[in-house]
Amino acid sequence: MMRSSLGSPTRLLRKGWAMAGARYAVILIVALGAYALVLLIAGKDPIQAYADTFSFTLGSRYGFSEVLVRMIPLLLTAIAVALPSRLGLINVGGEGQLYMGAWLATWGAITFTSLPQAAFIPLLIVLGFLGGGAWASVAGFFRARGLVNETITTLLMNYIAPLIVGFFVYGPWRSREMGASAFPQSAAFPSAARLPQFLGTRVHLGLILALVALVAFWFVLDRTKWGLKMKAIGGNPEAARRLGIRLGVYILVAMFVAGGIAGLAGMAEVASLHGRLRAGFSPGYGFVGFLISWMTGGSPVGILIMSFVLAIVFSVGSLLQITQGVPFAAINVLMAIILFVVLARPRLALSTFGRKS
């Protein structure tokens, strides 16, 4: 009896998860090993770097909470890629959508300064979602009309969004405070506009948002009729069209929602961690989210696991930058290696949940 569209009895499912787990482990080991090699060639000490990272992140309460903090934007940007991927769309614009969500939320925060927190939080959520969603809708619209592939559009728009943020941060929103940091930034958010943090750590409300988004993503795709239609579009758009499914509408909505989720990531970063908008505040969360989605084949459980793991790995990057002077952009090499391993071993890397390659 088929309870869900996964279409396999529980025993097979558990075996599928074991296989998936093994697959992720292999990918990570190979990737980390290759990256260690790259570091060695560059004259750095990978063992020390990895050891430092693991002891910090897994060895202390604070370190662990920092991993969770890192994980939040990764979860959200990964969903932002995974959702459209079910329709066969490739959304590489997480970065730009994230910035625009942060931008619109900042506007709300510094405009409606006198709102109480109970009103601010929903407002920020809505604005963050709208900002990213509207940004992604441009690409969705072009694609729905058959004009341009969304991959190119979102990539190009990734360059424009930080410029918009930069313009506002250096311009109309520039903070005039005395003793402010050397780098231009926006005025501080009123305290009511800050997302609450938990248990004395920096882990914030964004985690709840991310988990809710993850569950909703799984539920809609696995159980609802809209999810079935979306998977049909991803599986065979021509057949979907002939079955009466309106491709354009679904493409547009999927991109809007995906962008909105990425926008929430941006909003959460600025509203809770920084408390103000800064230019270039994202170290590439959008791209890492893309990577996570591809590694896991867009599976919700996989995304949860891998966001956690990559949050740890991401810390390697910052550590290397501080301790060994490796430019942060070098983490791109690690991401490239992971993506390469995923793509080069299609049988291992494809999700067991049947997504087409």
Cβ 158 to another protein, closest distance in Å? Answer: 8
For position 145 contacting another protein by CB under 8 A, the verdict is: yes
Q: Within 13 Å of residue 28, how many CA atoms lie on the same side as its CB?
A: 18
Find the binding residues for another protein in span 287-316 (CB under 8 A): 287, 290, 294
For position 216 contacting another protein by CB under 8 A, the verdict is: no
Find the binding residues for another protein in span 166-185 (CB under 8 A): 166-167, 170-171
| Residue in 204, 231, 276, 278 binding another protein, rule: CB under 8 A | 231
For position 236 contacting another protein by CB under 8 A, the verdict is: yes
- The answer to whether 61 and 202 have CB atoms below 8 angstroms apart is no
Find the binding residues for another protein in span 46-85 (CB under 8 A): none
| Residue in 235, 283, 305, 318 binding another protein, rule: CB under 8 A | 235
For position 146 contacting another protein by CB under 8 A, the verdict is: yes
| Residue in 124, 265, 270, 331 binding another protein, rule: CB under 8 A | 331
For position 164 contacting another protein by CB under 8 A, the verdict is: yes
User: Per-residue DSSP letters for 92-120?
Assistant: --HHHHHHHHHHHHHHHHHHSTT--HHHH
| Residue in 18, 243, 280, 322 binding another protein, rule: CB under 8 A | 243
- Total residues contacting another protein by CB under 8 A comes to 70
323-328 contacts at long range (C-beta below 8 A, 24 or more positions apart):
323/48, 323/49, 323/52, 324/44, 324/45, 324/49, 326/39, 326/42, 326/44, 328/283
Is the CB of 43 or the CB of 200 nearer to another protein?
43
CA distance 243 to 240: 5
Cβ 236 to another protein, closest distance in Å? Answer: 5
| Residue in 13, 34, 187, 333 binding another protein, rule: CB under 8 A | 333
Structure tokens, 90: 């490739």
Cβ 69 to another protein, closest distance in Å? Answer: 24
Cβ 334 to another protein, closest distance in Å? Answer: 7
For position 357 contacting another protein by CB under 8 A, the verdict is: yes
Structure tokens, 288: 């890492």
User: Per-residue DSSP letters for 5-50?
Assistant: TT-S-HHHHHHHHHHHHHHHHHHHHHHHHHHHHHHHHTT--HHHHH
CA distance 258 to 357: 20
- The answer to whether 234 and 87 have CB atoms below 8 angstroms apart is yes
| Residue in 71, 140, 326, 351 binding another protein, rule: CB under 8 A | 326
For position 15 contacting another protein by CB under 8 A, the verdict is: no
| Residue in 245, 273, 301, 348 binding another protein, rule: CB under 8 A | 245
For position 224 contacting another protein by CB under 8 A, the verdict is: yes
243-252 contacts at long range (C-beta below 8 A, 24 or more positions apart):
247/144, 248/144, 248/145, 249/144, 250/87, 250/226, 251/87, 251/89, 251/140, 251/143, 251/144, 252/137, 252/140, 252/141, 252/144
Interacting residue ranges for another protein, rule: CB under 8 A: 1-3, 5, 7, 38, 42, 90, 92, 142, 145-148, 151-153, 155-157, 159-160, 163-164, 166-167, 170-171, 223-226, 228-229, 231-232, 235-236, 238-246, 287, 290, 294, 326-327, 329-336, 339-340, 343-346, 354-357
